[in-house]
Amino acid sequence: MAPSGSRYSRERERMVERQIAARGVDDEDVLEAMRNVPREEFVAESLREFAYEDSPLPIEAGQTISQPYIVALMIEAAAIAPGDRVLEIGAGSGYAAAVMAQIARRVYAIERQPELGRVARERFERLGYDNIELKVGDGTRGWPDAAPFDAILAAAGGPEVPDVLLEQLAPGGRLVMPVGRNRESQSLVVVRKTGDRRFEQTELGAVRFVPLIGEHGWQDLTARAPAARRNEDIGVVIRDAAEALPALDSPEFGALFDRFGDARVVLLGEASHGTSEFYRARAAITRRLVEHHGFDIVAVEADWPDAASIDRYVRHRPALAGAPKAFQRFPTWMWRNTDVQAFVEWLRGYNTGKPKAQQAGFYGLDLYSLNSSIRAVLDYLDRVDPEAATVARQRYGCLTPWSKEPAAYGHMALTSGFALCEKAVVDTLQSLLDRHVEYARADGENFLDAAQNARLVANAEAYYRAMYYGSAESWNLRDTHMFDTLKLLLAAGGQKSRAVVWAHNSHIGDARRTEMGQVRGELNIGQLCRQEWGADAVPIGFGTHGGTVAAASDWDAPMQVMPVNPSLPDSCERQFHDAGVVPSLFDLRPGQRDALRERFEGSRLERYIGVVYRPDTERWSHYADSELSRQFDAWVWFDQTRAVTALAEGHAQGMPETYPFGV
């Protein structure tokens, strides 16, 4: 069998430690098998760099290779032991069969797709897995000629456990498969044969698998007659539900969103961090909500200190002496672009002449600004309590070696086995909060800013440690920080305060309705807002089919204007594109456009482009399964879009010297 030593061995070990063992899988045979099977050999060569990510991956014939944790969980649940005979239904790439073959005496695998069966056989032969037998056929019928089996695992979800499979279990045998009333979501069940025609069943929790197609599973929808497909033409439903959007610079554009004016929080998304139409649309909607509905908080997916300098500008407060210019950290174009510049100027104009209590502020929710936030806390304490500033400098001194490269601190904390700076940063925050009455009396206007920076440092310290324990933990810490910041802003503003949030679709759409929450265990701001405020939290997603986008090919690489690939045929975006609608608003709330809502309640691919865009690996790196109409309350569609225009170095013509984007 394939040796475990390779250039991927370190990633494989980290996968086992952080994604599998850390989640409670403790069967040593399973963990050792996961260490030994080279997952990179079971995906396309172009996707090998993603082989040990905590997620499913695309394979041939439009199918997927399961998330590593799910593979390990199912094998452990099946209690596979040395000497066992195992049946796998839905061999796919062959990865799970290879893992089981490390433990069991013999594995029998059935694959419905001939192409996948051929490729899997070639892999088994090349990698030396000689105790696996594979055939192409209907897995729902099992493999009667090879029965009975000590364990049966199905890598696809059916409406029920087929009796024919239960009949092929040996006494004491175990069957593990996803079961659900619909094709999109299931519960993972374990069935144990306790006697002749006697079985015990337990559930392990919600999962999402492809449908189990066959005689004893779901019908193959792709085989239905063209006439039936025409009767279900989703394009008609989309066109009927579309509300055409006026021009972005028309006052009528924002008026279409008056229906959301009574919400406590309106969350405005984007399908990329570099698309002009998304920024301009969010600006138009926000202007309407601020002017006509009393929203007074604009909270964005940006670092708190950078946004604070913008807030000072739009509310006509003097800039802090020596404060660095805003948004100098990668990706600069995300906020240093002409569309944001235009909105900031509008917000400054709106606030002109208004009392402070009637002004709208601009705030950052994110936590990447470790160095800037440390400096902001110390500058504040220097002004109000020099003695406390001395203590804070000593405490923050722990982080000084890593303040410019905080990810290196996370690596150090992991390798040394303890959180070296955790107590120091938490103590600084607590000291600041303990004296809030005294500090507010001395410099109340800036206390919120200082306290938030201290809170940010504490959370950032935890975030950079969490980065090395798995993507879900660090993601959840970051989004929880952003949500907590939003709650603090609303609390500071009083009961009548209301907020508009600008963040990526992946942050503002309800994570429970996406692969993020259902597969990777991630939460986000949108989910937390719905849990906190219910219908008073309105997430609005944005999408596009093609055009151009401002992005980088890798983290910290230069910005490029890149063409956006046409959306994939089976994606949400392609359905809207094929419907041929103009830029439109789609109201997805219950009772509004229920025919459309029903069509998008099931799982479809949705595209997510961040600051990094990799068109060559787009299916894996930029798409995820999502239930669009459950994820968002509304969807804003622009078929063709263009990249934002980044601000050039130096001040724009006529820009005042106090303008925060100047360099």
Catalytic residues: 66
As a three-state string, the secondary structure of 137-187 is CCHHHCCHHHCCEEEEEECCEECCCCHHHHCCEEEEEEEEEEECCCCCCEE
Note whether 156 and 135 are within 8 A (CB): no
Q: Rounded to an integer, what distance in angstroms lies between the CA atom of residue 422 and that of residue 436?
A: 22
Residue 575 CA to residue 560 CA, distance in Å, equals 28
Q: Pairing relation of β-strands 57-58 and 132-136?
A: unpaired
Omega of the bond prior to 324 within 30 degrees of 0, cis?
A: no
Cα-based distances in Å from 369 to 312, 365, 404, 432: 18, 11, 9, 19
361-366 vs 499-502, strand pairing mode: unpaired
Q: State the Cα–Cα distance between residues 519 and 162, nearest whole angstrom.
A: 25
Per-residue burial over 211-244, b if 16 or more Cβ lie within 10 Å, else e, is bbbbebbbeeeeeeeeeeeeeeebeebbeebbee
Alpha-carbon dihedral of residues 368, 370, 376, 378, nearest 10 degrees? 160
Task: List CB contacts of 112: < 8 A, sequence separation 6 or more.
Answer: 90, 136, 137, 138, 139, 213, 214
CA neighbor of 445 nearest in space, from 320, 345, 349, 343: 320
Structure tokens given for 52? 């040990």
Two tokens at 78?
């099946």
The span from the first CA to the last CA of the chain, in angstroms, equals 59
SS3 (DSSP) at 659? coil
For residue 26, the number of C-alpha atoms closer than 13 Å in the C-beta half-sphere is: 2
User: In 3D, which of 608, 552, 553 has the Cα closest to residue 278?
Assistant: 608
